[in-house]
Structure 1
Amino acid sequence: MEAIYDVEVTTGSMTHAGTFDNIFITLIGTQGVSERAKLDSYGRDFKTGMKVKYKVITRFTLANLLLIRLEKDNLMFLPENDWFCSLVNVRTPEKDVIHFPCYRWMAEGEVIELREAKGLYTYLLFKNYDIIWWFCYYNLLIIEYVQLHWMDDDFFGYQLLNGSNPMMLRRCTELPLNFAVTNGMVQPFLESGTSLTLEMKQGNIFLCDYKRLADLPTQFINGKQQYVAAPLCLLYKNQVGKLLPIAIQLQQQASEDNPVFLPSDSEYDWQLAKLCVRNADCLEHQASFYLRTHLAETFTVSLMRNLPAAHPIHKLLVPHTRYTLQINTLIRNRLLGPVGAVTQSTSIGDEGMTNLIKKALSDLTYSSLCLPEDISDRGLQSIPNFFYRDDGLRLWSFINDFVRSMVEFYYQSDSDVQQDTELQDWIKEIFIHGFLEQSSTGESDDIALVIKCVTMVIFTVSAQHSALRAGQFDYGSWFPNAPGSLKQPPPTSKGSSDKNTLLDILPDMNTSAYLVSVFWLLSKPSSDLVPLGQYPEDYFCQMAPQKKIRDFQAELSFFSESINDRNKGLQVPYTYMCPDNISNSVSI
């Protein structure tokens, strides 16, 4: 007896999502397979944003539908054009409506097999998205403040907490052996009646060590040799909560021609030392930014290779992979490498940047990507006015609660996790190729570890990426605050610096402008920004996961409001961890 299946196909709403090509469907059930049927109605079928209904007739009922198969063939002489299929709904003869989310591109000759939305297994074919750039966007208030205060000691310390690179600062409990600072040197800059040793015990001394920059090769720019420092910078949190630099050594090895610069030195000596630190911080930020957040490529590729599209973890994470592979390809081709904009405008060039990223990778650990552990490991739990930490920990908590609710909905016990070989392969491949097997075996044999891993992935590609990306133009457009290169070697003595010394060490104007243009480009939000927690594609069709998503969105919305209220009372607002400004994925 004939059976009639009502099929509704939705084409994506983005530009050029439609196609003139022929689309075929095959229904596969527990009791048989339909014939390959062409989806054809009157007029054009697959226009952008269109929903079209069809009937697929089989000789007998297929019983429970297991999957559907879509195929795409070129229409006669017309040029090939890809098609973005959003969703296929099938109403069975038994009146059940089954959802088959697709949300991917199809090219000519491509075949995609889709399982029901609440299933656990299907196949995925990945198609690149086009990247759309936006017009100039920046925070004029911060830019003007940077220009006015970049030489102030308290703003120097503030940037290490809330600027574009909050990753270098850590609590200092013992001075490095190669740092020639003594208690007597810094005593005048501490509160009366205390000492450096006592302040370290009380948790008020902090260190930025740029040792990875030591011995890196430098390049010629505009025919001139460029230079780089590898400084150690000691900072003190005073009684009013300000973080102030109190000692700077510009190279790693203590020696007579490597003095420790102090706030009591001449104005230009001290400013010159801080400028060298800002150069080092700029270079470290570039390596940290690309490594710590664009490591998302590892998560993405492993996701595509190991987790089928109907797997709940795949559906949870795939919105957070949007544009990742395309952005990383552009970075490798246009920003890094021998002719990259970043490497051409920084003192260490391609070879030096490559070596710096290698050094940073050798220091990268799984725990350093988990914000609560990173903050604890660096001893920064109690330092005041640390908005990166405060907002980041709140976001981590929101994401973690959301992930826990979703994972526990699909995994009722640790044995469910252990028996999911695809999940184990996904995690293991991340650790093998992302961490080079140096941080963990890559096994997650209980629900708690899976929740932590998924939380880390979502936080890294969204909140962490925003924190390290969005402030580059705000803090770097005034280029003396973030010079990518030094045109003169770091000073080896005190007492000979003046205003011309500061000007001479700064990179040439064209070099600075080139790097500032990169900061401008990377700081812009995407023209089609999808904020954190927003999921335009309905990968989850069950009511429970949909409610968990709505609850997550409500928490993020309330948090955005609280950040906006707080920022009204700040001289320098911190907006980089506001959910409204955070992209769901690594994108610009």
Structure 2
Amino acid sequence: MTPTLPQNDPPALQAKRKQQLGQLQAEYVYDFTTRVQPLGVAHSVPSGQGFNFVWTLGVLNQALNITANLISMAAPFFERLESFGKKVEGFAETEVRDAEQAYLALKAHHLHLSRIFDPTHVTAAPVQVVALAGASSESGLATGTDGSFAVVPGGTSTSVVTSFPSAPASALPASALPASALPASPEALERLPEELKSALGNLTGFMGGTAFDLLLRLISQYGQAKNLGAYQSQFQLLPMTQGAGVALDDVMFARLRVAGPNPVVLRRLTAPDARFPVTEAQFRSVMGQEDSLATAMQEGRAYLADYAVLEGMQPGTFPMRKYFCAPLALFAVPRAGAPDRLLRAVAIQCAQKPGPSTPVVTPGDGLNWEVAKLFLQVADGAWHEMISHLGLTHLLLEAFTLATARQLPPEHPLQVLLAPHFEGTLAINNAAVESLVAPKGFVDRLLPGSIEASTGLAVQAVERFRFNQELFPRSLANRGVADAQALPDYPYRDDGLLIWDCMHRWVEDYLALYYGSDADVAADYELQAWLGELASPTGGRLQDIGENGAIRTRAYLADMVTMVIFTASAQHAVVNFPQSYIMSYTPSLPLAAYAPLPGAPLAAQPANTAALLAYMPPLQQSFSQQTLMTLLGSVYFTALGDYDRYTPGPYFQDPRVAVLLKGFQTRLGEAEATIARRNLRRIPYRSLLPSEIPQSINI
């Protein structure tokens, strides 16, 4: 099928397109009553928009890695327990038994995950107790006739009995083959993503329960860490990236603003800010006596990170009281000719206005500086997760996914181009709204605000988003960070522009196949309806989008489509994947503080890791952060430009596209080589390597 514009079709085909859209609009329905109201999300995930089978394999692999890592931490303790008896100092015997059952339940969760893709799903089998590796002889795994299974506790302790849903049954009759040899049916395979979702939900619930807390207490992975090694010990089988904990180093702390999970906050400072009275003496204490704040501002070398959006946010109390602030931070680049021109952290104020308890502090202020850095990281984590990540990639693209499905029929060239960039988006967003931002879900557990306040950050980010002002090159200019002479080390900007240019050329070339002139764009009534729905209060609710209420030119359409594809692929990669290799190690970026800011500056003393630990997440919270960050940041499904990977033949049926796509792929390869060369000359930045950018938001 060669895509066509609606105005070029004969009346009969135009009527057919209209009928198709009517059917699609009945399937793709907005729901404005969910936890992210008043934003609209899909009422349900339409047929064909669920999780891909290959995607499910990737998620399963990471889930197995996570559970295996947890088991490996507990196994040595319980092996010793079998050798030396069941008495543990400080714990009652019943508590030890309950913790042992929680350990067995964890192993059963792992076993269940490993069985999900077993090609020999059992349809019927008598109940039997199967000994688990490392389990006592009195405990085991009971398998029911429906394929379900549960931990059977030994002794008199029965408080930890965990059951699991059965694996999908084969459509073949049980008598056709031995039960152990029955293959899964195609229908069962289609249900596997939902089964995995259910299994992960069960695992999450288990890890949030009292039995799992007791297990963590028993293996000394609960409460305040005694040293940083306690956090490192949580990586038994999971890889801890070299350089984990970089935020504890001042230079790397600053570099996270330009190459971390949230490299979008910095703005050029052009004049003193009355809220943040950094003195010349404080500036020179960091940047050298020959420099000055006035000169740095004049030369465009001073930058502000302002977290005012967090001011007044309701603090979270689940599962315990959490703390945060709305800080201001000053960063600066050394003058031209300096030995290096890496960004420096100059000063932090842990409030929007100075006060006795929130003075301006600098690196020379010892422990006060370290505490301020930690609170800034907490603020940055909240901004990252709810604004940059959930709000301005996931929820923003929800609007485009729905409007595209409802207003552009399968024959429309833009529908053909954009569909791969929306794969999995409705499904993952549905899962996020149902569970991630649910009360007592991961956001509620880990982030510093209440669940209502955290969700509000994401909603407000989309409501305040001005599309035309946020086109990637324009957003850099608007923040005053586009000048590579003033800010020479900004990998997100430099690599991002490289990827943007590759995409923009591809989009321009593709659109030129179908739109011969601006008049063709203006006459495309389906395209105009698409824009109308994106801006409508009963649709996407997006602000400042289009050219005075319409799409009038090919140039604007190319910018708009490039922005959609860039957000779905590159921008999401930027904010998503560093979760696994930066944020899974909690001290790098704690998602909440667990002690309030001091009521007055701490007595002058050097940086003290032991004192800083009082503010860091307890070990059980660190486990939850490690789990979520590893899962979300480790699944790479599809690759940018590889439209044919999961199709039986060429994805684009119009033969004219092939040469254009080849050009796009060649340019992406050249961009990969350029970034690799840059990484030889700088601290490596991998978030925008084309080979590590999926095409869509699917995790």
TM-score tier after normalising by the smaller chain length? 0.7 to 0.9
Alignment partner, residue 543 of structure 2: 437
Length-normalised TM-score, structure 1: 0.75
AA matched with 2:584? S
How many residues were matched structurally?
A: 469
Change (3 A) 1:310 1:587: same
State the 1:430 CA deviation. Answer: 1.9
Contact 2:569 2:697 in 1 (8 A): yes
Contact 2:254 2:331 in 1 (8 A): yes
Output the CA distance in 2 between the equivalents of 1:196 and 1:469. Answer: 34
2:322 is equivalent to residue 226 of structure 1: yes
Contact 1:345 1:484 in 2 (8 A): yes
Contact 1:364 1:435 in 2 (8 A): no
Contact 2:466 2:543 in 1 (8 A): no
Alignment partner, residue 512 of structure 1: 622
Contact 1:342 1:518 in 2 (8 A): no
Pairing of 1:45-444 with structure 2 (within 5 A): 127-131=48-52, 132-134=56-58, 135-136=61-62, 143-147=241-245, 149-222=246-319, 224-238=320-334, 239=338, 240-265=340-365, 267-287=366-386, 288-294=388-394, 295-381=396-482, 382=484, 383-432=487-536, 433-437=539-543, 441-444=548-551
2:567 is equivalent to residue 475 of structure 1: no
1:475-534 C-alpha deviation (Å, 9 max, x unpaired) = 1122122111111112342233754431111122111211221111111123xx221111
Alignment partner, residue 89 of structure 2: none
Q: 2:565 aligns with which of 426, 446, 458?
A: 458
AA matched with 1:324? T
Alignment partner, residue 203 of structure 2: none
Alignment partner, residue 689 of structure 2: 578
AA matched with 1:269? N
1:80-135 C-alpha deviation (Å, 9 max, x unpaired) = xxxxxxxxxxxxxxxxxxxxxxxxxx9xxxxxxxxxxxxxxxxxx85223351523
1:351-385 C-alpha deviation (Å, 9 max, x unpaired) = 12022223423442214542111111111121122
Contact 2:586 2:617 in 1 (8 A): no
Alignment partner, residue 643 of structure 2: 535
AA matched with 2:565? I
State the 1:151 CA deviation. Answer: 1.7
Gaps of 5+ in 2: 1-8, 18-26, 28-45, 66-234
State the 1:277 CA deviation. Answer: 0.5
Output the CA distance in 2 between the equivalents of 1:128 and 1:363. Answer: 28
State the 1:140 CA deviation. Answer: 9.1
AA matched with 1:410? Y
Output the CA distance in 1 between the equivalents of 2:16 and 2:673. Answer: 43
Contact 1:473 1:519 in 2 (8 A): yes
Q: Compute the RMSD of aligned alpha carbons.
A: 2.9
Gaps of 5+ in 1: 1-28, 33-63, 69-105, 107-124
SS at match of 1:143: coil
Output the CA distance in 2 between the equivalents of 1:468 and 1:435. Answer: 23
State the 1:180 CA deviation. Answer: 2.6
SS at match of 1:491: coil
Moved more, 168-177 or 300-309: 168-177
Output the CA distance in 1 between the equivalents of 2:332 and 2:695. Answer: 36
State the 1:331 CA deviation. Answer: 1.1
Alignment partner, residue 40 of structure 2: none
SS at match of 2:348: strand
Length-normalised TM-score, structure 2: 0.63
Moved more, 337-346 or 370-379: 337-346
AA matched with 1:525? V
State the 1:442 CA deviation. Answer: 4.5
AA matched with 1:273? A
2:698 is equivalent to residue 587 of structure 1: yes
Output the CA distance in 2 between the equivalents of 1:397 and 1:140. Answer: 36
Contact 2:378 2:592 in 1 (8 A): yes
Greater strand fraction, Structure 1 or Structure 2: 1
Contact 2:49 2:423 in 1 (8 A): no
AA matched with 2:281? G
SS at match of 2:698: coil
SS at match of 1:348: coil
State the 1:541 CA deviation. Answer: 2.5
Alignment partner, residue 521 of structure 1: 631
